[in-house]
Chains A and B, each alone.
Chain A
Amino acid sequence: QKEVEQNSGPLSVPEGAIASLNCTYSDRGSQSFFWYRQYSGKSPELIMSIYSNGDKEDGRFTAQLNKASQYVSLLIRDSQPSDSATYLCAVKPPQGGKLIFGQGTELSVKP
């Protein structure tokens, strides 16, 4: 089992719809969770961080964390074509400083 798993996609949604990106992780002791967006040919940029169970909202983005289910998700409301990118889920395990990344989900927002 991979430490951090994401559906590779591509996930295609129409403009204005809600895009839902999902991620599961294997280390139950993990405490810090991050979503990064990566445009083709560019480095990842941080969108959201979440540390507590529940929802965290920032503009059109909402991160959801359920530690009991070892599940973290990212919702993008009112999706725009400019949201088309690969979204990386990252988890910081309890030991050590490095992040564990999922393989990324490619999102395509169609005008």
Chain B
Amino acid sequence: GAVVSQHPSWVICKSGTSVKIECRSLDFQATTMFWYRQFPKQSLMLMATSNEGSKATYEQGVEKDKFLINHASLTLSTLTVTSAHPEDSSFYICSAYVTRQGNTIYFGEGSWLTVV
């Protein structure tokens, strides 16, 4: 069964509004989670590394004020896309290391964001 869960699976929002995506680790504690974005027919792009209890580490070129990441507990990380624009429409995926599975990274189901 799934070990990393994301919600919502898809969301449509109006341009200029904010939308929050949740990533939960199921039955294990995740001190570190990773957020990716993927445009159609393109590869995964790492946006940021989410660290429990501390600030996220953003990849070069990713606007930290636009993509707010909060990792307030050992089982939950959230990504908030602020002041969303149509170009933010994408597939957002989180992942986490699962130590009971050989310290392997597992992905959540992903969240499709459409900004209209």
Contact = CB atoms under 8 A, between A and B. Distances in A.
- The answer to whether A binds B is yes
Interface of A: 34, 36, 41-46, 49, 88, 90, 97-99, 101-104
- Summarize A's interface: helix, strand, loop or mixed: loop
Interface residues of B, number: 18
Nearest to B93: A43
Interface in B47-102: 49, 91, 93, 97, 102
A98 B97 CA distance: 9
Contacts of B93: 43-44
Nearest to A6: B43
A44 B104 contact: no
Contacts of A44: 44, 93, 107
Contacts of B13: none
